[in-house]
Chain A
């Protein structure tokens, strides 16, 4: 054992949380899993463990990605580490009735197999307290609509990486309009070739540049929707 190796169990709660932020940044999955188990064993609620240790850590990762300090490989490693922590926390969150922000159905559009960004968004949305049903890749309009009917979510999220597949988002939104169900859902879109202008042109509610923006946009629009319903 190296002299400078950090023993997570020897750290105070505050030190441990700071160390977990560092470990998330460095993509150290096993250390994150150990940290989560330690916090839970010390009586932390699953919700506090999630938000203060994991989500706060991923927020730093997201900010550094946005600022060009971190790149996709490092973000993926961090996400993989967070996934390890989430796997432990998910059943505990359900069992303890942690606060829920809303529900989202998310998927990559038909003809497109790219899911890295979509997976990151799904994970960060779960971290922010949303229940997420992930439809995976290559989704037809029928599959999206069936999931909406089944799940009755607040949000539909669609992702595309290709210039050739992003127009399919409009097919989905137009079909929702035809069926008179467009206004029942918040529609968020994202993917490398998209932009704000495209999002407006196809009739989405918002374009989300990255996972952090998706979470903030989702929270704001869900809150607005609930306020409108209660007005």
Chain B
């Protein structure tokens, strides 16, 4: 499969290939990682639909978008698996998935399941950290800088980030170019920098359940 651009994943998402028994409905920000885990394991029976990653800018729209995707493909697949964490829906996505009878990944957000939900929960004191994943480092301007208006009004930076102390880059892959960019993101936000390799964390475990 040709590499899908981050811009497409951010604004449009990814349509399913209509091949396979299980449909994974995921956030566009996870597309590269989901496809990598699928490829590594040869899980050809998993199909993937991604919703636009920029839904994260409007978390109240995520639940409806996921429901619409499930209902649009009912009858086409044996099972559905939702690869969104709670993602700011305040429990509404979980309730909807239960109502629809589909499974979803556990955790409050992708920063948690990439590190591993148990591991992430073990440092509750880290609440002054601002997290970025591989996708978010690549799309920092589209997801952080521009939506917050920092390109037009840099003076707002400390109103947004004044209470944060560090930027933690959760690396899914070892890519020196992304490390450099993540450190630059930290500098732009006025935060200390920390790199933490997570790999795919609980995402890989959950995908194994979905594939089984």
Which residues of A are at the interface with B, using a C-beta cutoff of 8 A? Answer: 27, 71-74, 76-77, 80, 111-116, 137-138, 162-166, 192-195, 198
> With A and B bound together, what is the CA distance between A194 and B91 in angstroms?
9
Taking CB atoms and an 8 Å cut-off, the chain B residues in 165-190 that contact chain A are none
**A116 and B127 in contact, given A163-B86, A198-B90 (Cβ under 8 angstroms):** no
The reply to whether A113 and B148 form a contact with Cβ atoms under 8 Å apart is: no
- Tell yes or no: B140 within 8 A of A by CB: no
- Give the residues in chain B near A166, CB-CB below 8 Å: 90
The reply to whether B108 and A113 form a contact with Cβ atoms under 8 Å apart is: no
Distance in angstroms from A171 CB to nearest chain B CB is 14
The reply to whether A76 and B159 form a contact with Cβ atoms under 8 Å apart is: yes
- Tell yes or no: B164 within 8 A of A by CB: yes
Q: Which of A80, A116, A193, A194 is most buried by chain B, counting CB atoms within 10 A of its CB? A: A193
Which secondary structure dominates where chain B touches chain A? loop
9-residue interface stretch from B26-34, B37-45, B149-157:
B149-157
- Give the residues in chain B near A198, CB-CB below 8 Å: 90-91
**A116 and B159 in contact, given A163-B108, A192-B59 (Cβ under 8 angstroms):** yes
Distance in angstroms from A199 CB to nearest chain B CB is 11
The reply to whether A163 and B88 form a contact with Cβ atoms under 8 Å apart is: yes
> With A and B bound together, what is the CA distance between A27 and B128 in angstroms?
28
Distance in angstroms from A208 CB to nearest chain B CB is 14
**A113 and B163 in contact, given A72-B149, A77-B153, A163-B108 (Cβ under 8 angstroms):** yes
> With A and B bound together, what is the CA distance between A162 and B48 in angstroms?
28
Distance in angstroms from A99 CB to nearest chain B CB is 30
Closest to B130 in A: A113
The reply to whether B90 and A163 form a contact with Cβ atoms under 8 Å apart is: yes
Distance in angstroms from B201 CB to nearest chain A CB is 17
- Give the residues in chain A near B149, CB-CB below 8 Å: 71-74, 76
- Give the residues in chain B near A76, CB-CB below 8 Å: 149, 153, 156, 159
- Identify which of B92, B108, B159, B164 contacts A164 (C-beta below 8 A): B108
The reply to whether B127 and A112 form a contact with Cβ atoms under 8 Å apart is: yes
Distance in angstroms from B68 CB to nearest chain A CB is 19
Distance in angstroms from B188 CB to nearest chain A CB is 16
Closest to B128 in A: A113
Q: List 5 A-B contacts (CB under 8 A).
A: A76-B153, A77-B156, A162-B108, A163-B89, A163-B91
- Tell yes or no: B124 within 8 A of A by CB: yes
> With A and B bound together, what is the CA distance between A227 and B54 in angstroms?
47
- Give the residues in chain B near A163, CB-CB below 8 Å: 86, 88-91, 108-109
- Give the residues in chain A near B152, CB-CB below 8 Å: 73
The reply to whether A113 and B88 form a contact with Cβ atoms under 8 Å apart is: no
Distance in angstroms from A89 CB to nearest chain B CB is 21
- Give the residues in chain B near A137, CB-CB below 8 Å: 163
The reply to whether A73 and B163 form a contact with Cβ atoms under 8 Å apart is: no
The reply to whether A72 and B148 form a contact with Cβ atoms under 8 Å apart is: yes
Q: Which of B108, B160, B163, B164 is most buried by chain A, counting CB atoms within 10 A of its CB? A: B163
**A73 and B91 in contact, given A116-B160, A163-B108 (Cβ under 8 angstroms):** no
The reply to whether B92 and A192 form a contact with Cβ atoms under 8 Å apart is: no
- Give the residues in chain A near B89, CB-CB below 8 Å: 163, 193
The reply to whether B108 and A195 form a contact with Cβ atoms under 8 Å apart is: no
> With A and B bound together, what is the CA distance between A77 and B150 in angstroms?
12
The reply to whether B90 and A73 form a contact with Cβ atoms under 8 Å apart is: no
> With A and B bound together, what is the CA distance between A77 and B59 in angstroms?
23
> With A and B bound together, what is the CA distance between A62 and B139 in angstroms?
30
Closest to A113 in B: B163
- Give the residues in chain A near B90, CB-CB below 8 Å: 163, 166, 193-195, 198
